Amino acid sequence: MSQDNVMDAERRFWVGTTCAVGGAAAVGVAVPFVSTFAPSERAKAAGAPVEVDVGDLKPGEMRTVEWRGKPVWIVRRTPEQLASLKATDPLVADPKSERNPAEITPEYARNEYRSIKPEFLVAVGICPHLGCSPSTRFAEGPQPSLPADWHGGFLCPCHGSTFDMAGRVYKNKPSPDNLTIPPYEFLSDSRIIVGVDAKTKA
């Protein structure tokens, strides 16, 4: 074999070896890269309905669950907190939840309590203004950043929006809307499922 042929054979060998190694490296890099496009189990669960046991929730207590990456509050209101809604009717901006009802308040929550069962409020704990999470201010009476005739509810620490015990925003506050009521239903007297209702099943 001539020297030129030997050199051509060696060149083909090294070109082939380089391509094979490069291809293997590309596959090794691509596999973890492509896997990042597959949703994680946590991401799948973020949109799934969430079942909540409220049987041990006492009047005046609140439980928070995560649904679609958002906090959802479940408040078991006391008789006094329910009665306070009459007093806040003239003070809130949208007492009958008529603003954007399809997006904010499902049909079964378009009542004075904004809920299926009066004692249980189920609401997304995010202020519609800029997405902050309000804090609970259930005690009545004057408090820092609250009016002297405060009836209990929620205070957004970012820009001062206040909401009553039905999640209705007070007048002249930055939030343009009431707190959102998510789709939900009762599976039993003590279990709620958040993320599902008759409309979403249809």
Domains identified in the chain and CATH numbers: 45-194 (2.102.10.10)
Q: pLDDT class for 95, splitting at 50, 70, 90?
A: very high
**Poorest-confidence range of 38-47, 50-59, 111-120, 154-163?**
38-47
**3-state SS assignment for residue 65:** strand
Q: Is there a contact between 146 and 137 (Cβ–Cβ < 8 Å)?
A: yes
pLDDT on residue 4: 53
Q: Which two tokens stand for residue 68?
A: 């679609």
What pLDDT was estimated at residue 197? 87
Rounded CA separation 5/154 (Å): 85
Q: What's the confidence (pLDDT) of residue 37?
A: 41
> Which residue has tokens 């596999």?
31
What is this structure's pTM?
0.76
156-177 pLDDT per residue, tens:
999 999 999 999 999 999 999 9
Q: Is the pLDDT of residue 15 over 70?
A: no
Which of 153, 195, 179, 150 lies closest to 45 in space, CA to CA? 195
* pLDDT for 131: 85
Q: Tens digit of pLDDT for each residue in 47-92?
A: 799 999 999 999 999 999 999 999 999 999 999 999 999 999 999 9
> How far apart are the C-alpha atoms of 162 and 55, rounded to whole Å?
29
